Amino acid sequence: MKPVALGQSHTYRVETTHAHTADALGNKGMTVIATPILIGFLELAAHGCIEPQFEPGEGSVGTFVNVRHLAAAPAGAVVEATATVTEVAGRQVTFAVTAKWNDTLLMEGTHGRAVVNLARFFARLGMTPPPT
């Protein structure tokens, strides 16, 4: 892993659909963006933030999520999830994360990721790493 700078930031932007709603996940009638979907957007933003620092054969895995879901957004909303590096300890990276819909703060908190050697990671699971 190449050095990761404090303050480094990345935004993942997505136009949501019904597939992103709580209704689609089984909470019938709740046609708003589901909490686990927003968390997934935050994880994608964090991964994208550090991906340029990966050496060949590296990837990242989530290690913790600590967020508050503050507001709802409807299907069709354009959500921007942003991750900013706040701490680097070896291969462990911590991010401040937010998800917004226009000016509405949907979710905020912290997220951790570890940079891993994909061959070793999948070998421990008895799996072959996916092609890169």
Per the annotation, the verdict on 16 as an active-site residue is: no
Centre a 10 Å sphere on the Cβ of residue 38 and count the other Cβ atoms it contains. 22
Per the annotation, the verdict on 87 as an active-site residue is: no
Given a contact cutoff of 8 angstroms between Cβ atoms, the answer to whether 16 and 81 are in contact is: no
Of residues 11, 35, 86, 110, which has the active-site annotation?
Answer: 35
Conformational region of residue 118, where left means phi above 0, alpha means psi within -120 to 50, and beta covers everything else: alpha
Centre a 10 Å sphere on the Cβ of residue 99 and count the other Cβ atoms it contains. 28
Per the annotation, the verdict on 69 as an active-site residue is: yes
Which residues contact residue 90 at a Cβ distance below 8 angstroms, ignoring those fewer than 6 apart? none
| Residue 60 β-bridge partners | 115
CA gap 77, 82 in Å, rounded? 16
Of residues 10, 20, 21, 43, which has the active-site annotation?
Answer: 43
Task: Say which residue the tokens 């909303």 belong to.
Answer: 77
Catalytic residues: 35, 43, 69
